[in-house]
Amino acid sequence: MTPTEHPPTRHTRTYWLEHAWLGTHVEPGVVVEVTDGRITAVSRDAPAPPPGAEILRGLTLPGLANAHSHAFHRALRGTVQVGSGTFWTWREVMYSVADRLTPETYHALARAVYAEMALAGVTAVGEFHYLHHAPGGTPYADPNAMGEALVDAASEAGIRITLLDTAYLSSGFGQPPTTHQLRFSDGSADAWAERCSVLKDRDHARIGAAIHSVRAVPARQLATVAQWAQERRAPLHVHLSEQTAENDACREAHGCTPTRLLAEHGVLGPRTTGVHNTHLTDEDIALLGDTGTGTCMCPTTERDLADGIGPAAALQKAGSPLSLGSDSHAVIDLLEEARAMELNERLRTRTRGHWTAAALLRAASADGHAALGWDEAGTIEPGALADLTTIALDSVRTAGPVPRLGAETAVFAATAADVRHTIVGGRHVVRDGVHALVPDVPRALAAAVEALRS
């Protein structure tokens, strides 16, 4: 170093965690040192905060990962609960919202939705993004204008994003896209790959890939998407067997299940995540487990859309790591997703105790981050990204002898409304329940949704 050069400024902070979830148990009085967005030291036995430390009262967890999101579905909340119907009738209403989005209106909506996620303790989101082009399928001047709008929105809301850029080429097996779906399609997997190769990782953003479903990408083009992800060691997500109709159509077209079709085209593997994995055969479960393919359950959406209950316990036992997502955002509450997975299994089997609170938190954090390509997040230990979520222990929902109960109170009693602090890369994005970057999140949500109706 010459005398005129200065060392780079290092931003160091100290946090005192009244209670911390350290992966296996709750520890009282933990000091976490953070430098340049990463945890550099974790020390226990600190009954009082050291001088100058930021105080996090409550139970601090590793930041939560929302592994499956379609930000624009948030505009449907509260509008699709009247009358009967199925996933397929819901989808028609969803398409009517998709038709109206522009890069500007989508940016405003996503910024507000990601701010809602930050308030719910989410520090990283996996955005399964297929709304690529203008209505009718004409590319914008920047063909990635919609994806860039989402990446910017996450930055402005203070959270990390993995943009899972989604190939969506057909409406069904051998069927061209419908009018609504034209804006989702690049025409071919090669054109999809060319467009998303332009997208670049940023500090807060990583680029991954997605196959919308076996309905939406012709079998002979699946390998192109898989190879694109493999070359970049990027996460690859796919909606898998959410509906029995998809399984029936796949058997008719290809004589096998969607899982088998994906396996035969090189889609499965440890960087791949099947989303939903609801209606599977025993062979499907073995295929997913043996290949280390992950499973993202979205229990609040699956129940909202009357999808059914997926075999999450069997999948995990077979070797498929579990993650969680709020998907259609009927609610945005990762704690609710976590307990719903366990409670669904209780209803299905009429027995209790399929997952411990520790296992559910692992799905909501470390394994969710890994599914999104943020392997260095999701734990409170040196070297990890300094992403933290603090749950209040003094609300009407959580008051009680929490330290003795471990994380059970957080997982089985707390809600998103109990999130007191959200810290992303050592930056306080939510402080005392208030978003530091988006001043009035409810108003931002209302305005963004209203703009799509007028």
What number of CA atoms fall less than 13 Å from residue 102's CA on the CB side?
A: 6
CB of 327 to Zn ion, least distance (A): 5
**Alpha-carbon gap, residue 194 to 199, rounded angstroms:** 10
CB of 124 to Zn ion, least distance (A): 17
Binding mask of the shown chain, residues 319 to 348, with x at each position contacting Zn ion by CB under 5 A: --------x---------------------
Q: Is 129 a catalytic residue?
A: no
Residue nearest to Zn ion (CB): 327
CB of 121 to Zn ion, least distance (A): 21
**Alpha-carbon gap, residue 191 to 193, rounded angstroms:** 5
Of 280-319, binders to Zn ion (CB under 5 A) are none
Question: Scanning the structure block, which residue is given the tokens 């379609």?
Answer: 70
CB of 164 to Zn ion, least distance (A): 10
Q: Which of 276, 329, 369, 435 is catalytic?
A: 276
Q: Which of 307, 327, 367, 418 is catalytic?
A: 327
CB of 168 to Zn ion, least distance (A): 12
Of 392-411, binders to Zn ion (CB under 5 A) are none
Task: Specify the residue, 18 or 327, whose C-beta has the smaller distance to Zn ion.
Answer: 327
For residue 96, which phi and psi values (nearest 5 degrees)? -65, -30
Task: Specify the residue, 302 or 336, whose C-beta has the smaller distance to Zn ion.
Answer: 302
Task: Specify the residue, 296 or 377, whose C-beta has the smaller distance to Zn ion.
Answer: 296
Number of chain positions touching Zn ion (CB under 5 A): 1
For residue 293, which phi and psi values (nearest 5 degrees)? -65, 135
CB of 298 to Zn ion, least distance (A): 7
CB of 396 to Zn ion, least distance (A): 33
**Alpha-carbon gap, residue 115 to 433, rounded angstroms:** 12
Q: Which of 349, 387, 344 is nearest to 369 (CA)?
A: 387
Q: Is 276 a catalytic residue?
A: yes
Task: Specify the residue, 278 or 409, whose C-beta has the smaller distance to Zn ion.
Answer: 278
Task: Specify the residue, 15 or 168, whose C-beta has the smaller distance to Zn ion.
Answer: 168
CB of 328 to Zn ion, least distance (A): 7
Cα radius of gyration rounded to whole Å, the chain: 22
Task: Specify the residue, 133 or 276, whose C-beta has the smaller distance to Zn ion.
Answer: 276
**Alpha-carbon gap, residue 184 to 186, rounded angstroms:** 7
Task: Specify the residue, 327 or 336, whose C-beta has the smaller distance to Zn ion.
Answer: 327
Task: Specify the residue, 22 or 225, whose C-beta has the smaller distance to Zn ion.
Answer: 225
Of 432-451, binders to Zn ion (CB under 5 A) are none
What number of CA atoms fall less than 13 Å from residue 178's CA on the CB side?
A: 10
CB of 296 to Zn ion, least distance (A): 9
**Alpha-carbon gap, residue 106 to 98, rounded angstroms:** 10
Task: Specify the residue, 273 or 390, whose C-beta has the smaller distance to Zn ion.
Answer: 273
* Catalytic site positions: 276, 327
Question: Footprint of Zn ion on this chain (CB under 5 A)?
Answer: 327
